[in-house]
Amino acid sequence: MNILFVASECAPFVKTGGLADVIGSVPKALETLGHSVRIMLPAYPDLKKWLKHGKTLLELEDLFGGPASVSAARANGLNLLLLDAPHLFDRPGSIYLDEEGLDWEDNPTRFGALSLIGAKVGLDGIGGWKPDVVNAHDWQAGLVPVYMHQSGRKAPPSVMTIHNIAFQGLFDGSVRHPLGLSEDLYEPDGYEYWGHVGYLKGGIAMADKVTTVSPTYARELLTPDFGMGLDGLLQSREDDLCGILNGIDTEVWNPETDPALVQPFSARSLKHRCANREWLEQHFEIEPDPESPLFCVISRLTTQKGLDLLLEAIPSLVHRGARLIVLGSGDKKLEISYKAMASQFPQSIGVEIGYNEDLAHKMQGGSDAILIPSRFEPCGLTQLYGLRYGTIPVVARTGGLADTIVDANAAALAGKCATGIQFSPITVEGVEKAIARTCDLFKDKKNWKTMMRRAMVQEVGWDQSALLYERLFTSLLND
Ligand code: ADP
Ligand code: GLC
C-alpha cells in the first residue's frame, strides 16, 4: 500500500516535540511491513541540504505569493517529499515562532500551503507514485482532507491524526478567501468553528477516520474536560475515532548502542549505568549521593506538563533527600522559577534551560526516575524512553501515561508486573506523594533493580502499533 504522511516536523531533521519523533519512526515500521511511505514536509532551512540530493518532481509558479516546488529525497531511511517555498519556509529561528516568540503571522498561509500541496499529491500522485491513503498529522496538515474533499474529485481515503488537541490552528474566518477554501464548507459540519477557520476541526470533520495517539486519550477526547471544544464533534465521529499508542525508534533510543551515553549498558549490565549518573551529577553540579534517587524532567515547560505543580513540590523532594535535574524550555515564568529553585537548593537541584538532544539521552541513561506530572498527555514519549533506559517513570494517571506504565502498587509488585509509579489526583499533593512513594521504593535496592530490568524489556517499539495502523488503512481500502 502507498501511504502519504503530511506533517510539519520529522526527527532527526526538525523537531519541537514528540510529533517529530513519531513522524520520523512509524514510517520505518510500516515499510518493514512492505508498504511505501512518503512524508511531505516543508523545506525549512534544516531540510534544504536534502534538496540538493533530491529530484524535483513538481514545480508551481505561484503558491500563495511565491514560486514553489516539491522534491523527493531519501534521508535517514525515510522517503521525504520536500515542499520548497522559500517565501513561506526559508527563514531562521523556530519553525512556528518569530524572533519575539509569537506565532509567525503568516502561519495560516504556511500550513494552508502545506495542506494544499499535500492534498494535490493525494489526488494526483507525484513522480508516478500515487497514495492509496493519506494520513494528515495535527492542525498544520488539518486542511488536507478539506482540500481533497472540496476538489469534488475521487480522492484516496484520509486519516486525521490528533497528537494534541490543545493546538487547533484557529484563525480569523477571512483567511479562507486567500486560501481558496470552499464557501460551502464554511459551516459547522465543515471547517468553520465559531466564526473562525479551524484547521484541525476541518480535518476531523472531513477525514474518513480520526486517530489519536493512545486509547485512553481517545476516550478522554470525548469529554468536555479534555476535548477543548471539539468534544461534541468527536462524539459525532466516535465510530470513526480510535487511539493507537505511539511507539519509539528503538534504534535511536537503545542504551546498548547510544553514542550520547558516557557508558552504554543493558538490563544485564546495570552497573555500567553508574558512570552516566556520575556524569550528570558533575554536569549539573549537584551533590553525588548513591543512596538517594536522582529524578529528571525532560520537557516543554508548560502547564500541560504539570510543571507548575512539580515546582511547588520541590521543597518536599529536597526534604526527602532526593535530587532533581531539569532540562526544558517554554513558559518564561516557569524557566525563571526553575532557575530560582536551582539557586535555592544548589546541592539537590540542577536546571538547564534550552533544547539539547544529546543531554536528553544522557539524562535518560543516568537518572533513576523520570517525572511526568502532566495534566493531560495524549501519549507522551519520554516515559517510553525512560522504560527503555531503566529510568523509572513517575507519571500522572492520564492519557498515554496511564496506558504505558503499570503502577507499583502491592498487587502489581506481588504479580511482578510493575514498571513505574502512577499518581492521581494531579495536584501538588499528588506529586509530593508520588515522590515519597518513589523514594521509599528506591530504598529496596533489589526490588528497584528488578523493576528497572522489567521496564527495560517492555515492548515500546512500533511493531504492535504499526500493525494497527496497517489494519486501519486496509479497512479504508476495502470500504
Ligand atoms: P510533547 O510532544 O508533548 O512535547 P512527548 O513526550 O511526546 O511530548 O515528546 C517530547 C519529545 O521532545 C521527546 O523526544 C523529548 O525527549 C524531547 N524534548 C522535550 N524537551 C526537550 C529538551 N529541552 N531538550 C531535548 N529534548 C527535549
Ligand atoms: C503531542 C503530545 C504528546 C505525544 C506527541 C506525539 O505533542 O503532547 O503526548 O506523545 O504529540 O504523538
Tens digits of per-residue pLDDT, 277-286? 999 999 999 9
- Ligand 2 centroid–CA 402 distance in Å is 14
255 sits in the region (left: phi over 0; alpha: psi -120 to 50; else beta) called: alpha
Give the per-residue pLDDT at 478. Answer: 74
Domain contains 262: no
Residue 88 makes CB contacts below 8 A (sequence gap 6+) with: 42, 63, 64, 65, 66, 68, 106, 109, 110, 113
Question: What per-residue confidence (pLDDT) applies to 53?
Answer: 82
Backbone angles phi, psi at 237, to 5 degrees: -110, 20
Are 236 and 276 in a shared domain?
A: no
Residue 302 in contact with residue 330, Cβ under 8 Å? yes
End-to-end CA distance of the chain: give it in Å, rounded: 15
Question: How far is the C-alpha of 247 from the C-alpha of 474, rounded, in Å?
Answer: 20
Residue 31, pLDDT > 80, answer yes
Cα 229 to Cα 165: distance, rounded to the nearest angstrom:
9
Query: Are 434 and 468 part of one and the same domain?
Result: no
Beta pairing partners, 454: none
Does the Cβ of 378 fall within 6 Å of ligand 2?
A: yes
461 CA to middle of ligand 2, Å?
16
The CATH number assigned to the domain holding 429 equals 3.40.50.2000
Both 107 and 152 in one domain: the answer is yes
Q: Is residue 253 part of a domain?
A: no
Q: CA–CA separation, 275 vs 264, rounded Å?
A: 9
Which residue from 391, 184, 192, 436 is spatially nearest to 296, judged by alpha carbons?
391
Grid coordinates in use for 267? 538490563
- Grid cell digits, residue 224: 468536555
Across residues 122-139, what is the average pLDDT? 98
The secondary structure element, H or E, covering residue 212 is: strand 209-212
Mean pLDDT of 272-298: 97
What does the pLDDT average to over 389-418?
97
Per the domain annotation, does 57 fall within a domain? yes
For 218, 221, 287, 397, the CA distances from 231, given in Å and listed in that order, are 10, 6, 48, 20
Answer yes or no: is 256 within a domain: no
Determine the average pLDDT of the residues in 34-43.
Answer: 98
- pLDDT of 101 reads 87
Q: Are 305 and 373 in contact (CB under 8 A)?
A: yes
Q: How many CB atoms lie within 10 A of CB 403?
A: 18
> Do 322 and 217 share a structural domain?
no
Quote the pLDDT of residue 403.
98
Same domain, 345 and 385: yes
Indicate if the pLDDT at residue 313 is higher than 80.
yes
Residue with CA closest to ligand 1 atom 9: 18
Determine the structural domain holding residue 399 and report its residue range: 270-456
- Residues 6 or more apart whose CB falls under 8 angstroms from that of 274 comprise 290
Contact 246, 163 (CB under 8 A): no
Cα–Cα distance for residue pair 216/274, rounded to 1 Å:
35
Q: Which ligand is nearest to the CA of 385?
A: 1
Number of the ligand closest to the Cα of 22: 2
Mean local confidence (pLDDT), 429-437 = 98
**What is the model's pLDDT at position 54?**
86
Ligand 2: centre distance to CA 282 (Å): 31
Q: Which is it for strands 133-137 and 2-6: parallel, antiparallel or unpaired?
A: parallel
In whole angstroms, give the CA distance from residue 274 to residue 262.
10
Asked whether residue 156 is assigned to any structural domain, the reply reads: yes
Neighbouring residues of 201: CB distance < 8 A, sequence distance ≥ 6: 142, 168, 170, 191, 192, 193, 230, 233
Same domain, 231 and 355: no
Decide if pLDDT at 479 tops 80: no
Q: Is residue 254 part of a domain?
A: no
Rounded Cα–Cα distance for residues 358 and 52 (Å): 27
pLDDT for 57-109, tens place per residue?
999 999 999 999 999 999 999 999 999 999 999 999 999 999 988 999 999 99
468 shares its domain with 383:
no
Mean pLDDT, to the nearest integer, of 17-37?
A: 98
Question: Within this chain, do residues 336 and 224 fall inside the same structural domain, yes or no?
Answer: no
Domain-embedded: residue 30: yes
Quick: pLDDT tens for 460-476.
Answer: 999 999 999 999 999 99
Cβ of 379 less than 6 Å from ligand 2:
yes
Residue 67's pLDDT is what?
98
| Pair (104, 185) in one structural domain | yes
pLDDT-wise least confident of 358-362, 394-398, 411-415: 411-415
Count the helix, strand and coil residues of the chain and give each as a percent rounded to the nearest 5. Answer: 40, 20, 35
CA of 364 to the centre of ligand 1 (A): 12
Residues 442 and 469 in one domain: no
Span from the CA of 380 to the centroid of ligand 2 (angstroms): 5
Average pLDDT (42-60) is 93
Q: In whole angstroms, what is the distance from residue 149 CA to residue 443 CA?
A: 59
pLDDT of residue 248: 98
Give the per-residue pLDDT at 320: 96
Distance (Å) of CA 308 to CA 302, 336, 352? 8, 12, 16
Provide the 10 A C-beta neighbour count for residue 266. Answer: 15
The C-alpha cell that represents 322 in the structure block: 532526593
Verdict on whether the full-model pTM lies above 0.95? yes
With residue 56 as reference, give the H or E element that holds it: strand 55-60
Measure the CA–CA gap between 246 and 387, rounded to whole angstroms. 14
Separation in Å, CA 243 to CA 34, 215, 373, 378, 387 = 23, 4, 21, 9, 21
What is the rounded CA–CA span in Å between residue 106 and residue 337?
Answer: 32
Whether residue 425 has a cis bond before it, omega within 30° of 0: yes
Tell whether 172 is covered by a domain. Answer: yes
Number of domains composing the chain: 2
Tell me: pLDDT of 55 over 90.
Answer: yes
Give dist(CA 74, CA 54) in Å, integer. Answer: 7
**Measured in angstroms, how far is the CA atom of residue 174 from the centroid of ligand 1?**
34
Which residue is closest in CA terms to ligand 1's atom 4?
A: 17
Q: Is the pLDDT of residue 410 over 90?
A: yes
* Shared-domain flag, residues 362 and 313: yes
Q: Are residues 452 and 470 in the same domain?
A: no
Q: Is the pLDDT of residue 366 over 90?
A: yes
381 touches ligand 2 (CB under 6 Å) = yes
Residue whose CB lies within 8 A of the most ligand 2 atoms, among 96, 200, 246, for a mutation test = 246
Q: Which residues contact 295 (CB under 8 A, 6 or more apart)?
A: 317, 322, 323, 324, 325, 367, 368, 369, 370, 371, 394, 435, 438
Q: Which residue has the cell 476531523?
A: 204
